[in-house]
Amino acid sequence: MHTPKEPLDFETEEAAADGQAAEPSGAGVPLEPADSAIQRLEQELADTKDRQLRLAAEFDNFRKRSARERLELADRAQAALLGKLLDVLDDLHRAVTSDPVSTQADALRQAINAIDAKLWKELGAAGLERIEAVGQPFDPTIHEAVSMMAAPSAELANTVAATLQSGYRYKGLLVRPARVAVYAGGAA
């Protein structure tokens, strides 16, 4: 059982009032006068509060600076990707603004195919990939079934029959699921 400690016994109140150190009886250790101790502790408290406020302000500034730097980094990354796509955009603009009278359809088709290849090269380098779905087993994590078709054979059941809208991944993360038609059941 815990017993409370007895208060220290001071020699005289006058010694403490005069600013002299009073000694507890028998201890031989000088004690700080009460007024002096209160002032010292109040100053320590004020210093601790000030330090805590400064640390809180410093952390808040760090948080704001980190958020701002994160946004700037994202903006720089987007600007870098857009810079790589400018050549493709210029090529597309030349194809669209070409003279329809003097441009043959075959030449325009070749230009569009070249632009498509150039665009996919840049997007692939940036980490975008098209999800190949036809012939693959239906996977609801990357495919969205929008229609069902009778399977020509039992082996093709729950297999993707056709891609209605391509799906994409960006560095392994699903951007858009592929919208697909799926073979259902056995042979019709």
47-98 pLDDT tens trace = 999 999 999 999 999 999 999 999 999 999 899 889 989 989 999 998 888 8
pTM of structure = 0.59
Region of 89 (left: φ > 0; alpha: ψ -120 to 50; beta: rest) is alpha
Phi, psi of 33 (to 5 degrees): -60, 150
At residue 187 the predicted structure's pLDDT band, cuts being 50, 70 and 90, is: very low
Helix (H, G, I), strand (E, B) or coil at 114: helix
- Alpha-carbon distance of 98 to 28, in angstroms, equals 103
**Is CATH 2.30.22.10 correct for 128-188?**
yes
Instruction: State the pLDDT at residue 38.
Output: 92
Q: Where are the domains of the chain?
A: 30-126, 128-188
